[in-house]
Amino acid sequence: MTVGKVSGRRRQPSLAQLRAFAAVAEHLHFRDAAAAVGTSQPALSGAVAALEETLGITLLERTTRRVLLTPAGARLAVRARAVLGELGALLEEAEAVRAPFTGTLRLGTIPTVAPYLLPTVLTLVHERYPDLDLQVHEELTASLLDGLAAGRLDLLLLAVPLGVPGVTELPLFDEDFVLVTPLGHPLGGREGVSREVLRELRLLLLDEGHCLRDQALDICREAGREGVPATTTAAGLGTLVQLVAGGLGVTLLPRTAVGVEAGRSGRLLTASFAAAPGRRVALAMRTGAARSAEYAELAGVLREGMGELPVRVVSPAGDSGFGR
């Protein structure tokens, strides 16, 4: 029997099917994936099944407890994300052509930045760009970068450097870390503390996945401490400072968070370092984004508006405008 070309036009997957599959590939959970794309779980499952039928390939292994990508599914998930990313770029280009600072801007931010900077960011955006529909998504850094690459997010507000190819950083400011202690701690309220004290303190950390945890560990290593026992961790800074107030240890907070978090309890003190460790916060965008000029302008507006915060504003070239 001779095998020839299949007659008729080849069936093509729909964008809805690709979005459904990409969401499942990212979350490996139908309920979470359905929530991410804003559809029902049965509709999402049907879209993925339709995609499998269209392609003639099994993409997922489904059990009662979990979802796994097949080898073919893992390969095609990369392609699906690329297609959706290009579609997002096309829509972004069309939106940018219409008018600057209009339409939707999907801003992703990390939990250790969002509560302390968003009031300033939202006020500035509403005052300067009233026609811009700003949508905010709070996620961990890895998830934000995935969302940026896939076109699910347009711009990120987070700690840098990221060192990710294809991502351009627009620095905003540098800020110091301070040591937060319970009442009665010998370091509480002191200034000019040496970093070497971190070698012996019981330091409480955020859960894995938070960049602030990694930064704290880096600071400890720089101070000569090889490791920090993770016997007690917290999912957020609010819980972390309550653990400190309860006498379980000390922690490091970015200075922008001190007023909010330490101010909630009368059982906390802060101490400053002689050579303060710190972090840089920036906007991050896809390199070559159609709205890159708008994002650069927005970064400038944010720098101007953050002068009242306890930070050192950074010039566009990346050097601190207020000194180190």
For 53, 69, 201, the CA distances from 27, given in Å and listed in that order, are 22, 11, 38
- What pLDDT band is residue 318 in, cutting at 50, 70 and 90? low
Domain edges within the chain: 15-83, 102-173+281-313, 174-278
pLDDT at 79: 94
Q: Which stretches within the chain are classed as H helix?
A: 15-27, 30-37, 41-55, 71-98, 114-128, 141-150, 211-222, 237-245, 255-261, 292-305
pLDDT at 73: 94
Write the pLDDT tens digit of every residue in 107-118.
999 998 999 999
Domain covering 15-83 assigned CATH 1.10.10.10 in the classification: yes
Decide whether 15-83 matches 174-278 in CATH topology: no
Query: 1.10.1060.10, 3.40.50.10320, 3.40.190.10, 3.40.50.850: which CATH number matches 102-173+281-313?
Result: 3.40.190.10
Write the pLDDT tens digit of every residue in 109-168.
999 899 999 999 999 999 999 989 999 999 999 999 999 999 999 999 999 999 899 999
Which has more pLDDT, 268 or 65?
268
- What pLDDT band is residue 231 in, cutting at 50, 70 and 90? low
For 112, 120, 140, 224, the CA distances from 145, given in Å and listed in that order, are 16, 23, 9, 31
**What residues does 67 pair with on adjacent strands?**
62
- Kindly report the three-state secondary structure assignment for every residue of 128-152: HCCCEEEEEEECCHHHHHHHHHHCC
- The CATH superfamily of 174-278 is Periplasmic binding protein-like II (3.40.190.10)
pLDDT at 22: 94
Q: C-alpha angle with apex 94: 93 to 97, nearest 5 degrees? A: 85
Residue 3: pLDDT over 50: no
Q: Tokens representing 314? A: 């950074």
pLDDT at 97: 67
